Amino acid sequence: MPYPPRRPHSRTPWKSRPGKAFRPLAAVIASLLVLAPFSPVRAAVRDVLPLHVANESGRTGQVHLYIVGTDIDTGRLGYVDESGTFTPWPAGSIPPSPAPDVSISGPAGGATRTLRVPRGLSGRVYFSFGEKIRFFLTPTGLVQPAPWNPGDPNHDVLFDWSEFTYNDDGLWLNSSQVDMFSIPHSVAVTNGAGSTTRTGVLVTNGRERIFNAVQGQAGDWTSLITTRSDGLRLRVLSPAKGIDAGVFSPAYLDGYISSAWNTYRTRALTVVPFQHEPQKRFTGRTGADDVMRFTDGTGATVASFEKPGTKDVLGCDGRLHAPNDAVVGPIARTLCAAFHRSTLGHLHTQPTYDSGQFYTRDVTDHYSRIVHENMVDGRAYGFAFDDVGGFESLVHDGSPSSAAIGLTPW
């Protein structure tokens, strides 16, 4: 939805699970766009954008595609067919009722299938191999797959998704690893001049390297891997979803969080969340009550945060909830990114743009570290605000001629 003055949209209102708001682009690209000035491109934006899905995976089995999301203007939830027509979902029920089968037959190996995305839509493109994905409907929203739940009907389905927003200001399309890593896929956008930008490509044998590295990491990390009965390693859950699944310690980061939080009892933390506004700085100090308070240049307190726990940090929510505003949200996003990257507590101006400083501590988000290490360009969405500093696997164009998702080799 439009979000003036700099952001092209805010969080979409459609539902991923009953009662929980879905965040498109996984991390909500607001954090990216407040780190660099946004100048809307007002060239004509197509009513319907071609989206080419190429199957270069090398895997056998039928590919099934789905485009689901929300109409930005009306807030209606729905799906899109191959021609680009948006249709609202029928009413659901409690308990959730099965959604209609809205799958689109995907490309065979070595082939490409062209879908169409209507302007004014924010949502996801799902893809599965072999089995179809099962969706469900409630009276208020779409119940999407939650494979971290062993009882979810899609638990043993090989699937993944990309996230997008296409509106009057253009297209934002990303490959997301915020919840899990499963099917290697790239995203691309081609502008009106025919120039293509692509990201999300894994290094050679990257999928196996990621699974093996997570499996070899000491502690609960191995438990994040889901293996099907036929021996196929389906996915690696993010540690946040691992906590939800009960397989990852909800106290994993607590010691590091306390150490970093305590650092700022005796010295200041400087947050400069807007890269294009280096003069806009906020100073944080931790009080005796364990609350970190931030002041602006006038000395006025503008934000305060209780000490978060591991789940707050890994989910970038709870005590680190980031509203779509110009102060509290940007500070919260910066703190969350610094915790994930284990830079808070020893780098006292945040964010830092030197990726060589990331994930250098023993206690860190090894899941995100491993995913980033196995991307050709080092870019990924390893956690919800991985776009802080511009390290996310996102493509954008203000007036695109086409977009693409590549199911890449593994």
Helix, coil or strand: residue 315: helix
**Token digits of residue 149:** 């739940």
For 333, other C-beta atoms within 10 Å of its C-beta total: 27
How far apart CA 310 and CA 40 sit, in angstroms, is: 37
Strand ranges, E, within 224-350: 225-227, 233-237, 269-271, 282-286, 291-295, 301-306, 349-350
Strands 291-295 and 136-137: unpaired
The catalytic residue among 56, 71, 160, 163 is 163
Task: With residue 406 as reference, give the H or E element that holds it.
Answer: strand 400-407
DSSP letter (8 states) at residue 282 = E
Is residue 47 flagged as an active site residue?
no
Strand ranges, E, within 89-230: 97-98, 104-105, 112-118, 121-129, 136-137, 142-143, 158-167, 170-175, 180-181, 185-191, 196-199, 225-227
The catalytic residue among 56, 71, 169, 179 is 179
CB 40 within 8 A of CB 47: no
Is residue 163 flagged as an active site residue?
yes
Q: Which residues are known to be catalytic? A: 163, 179
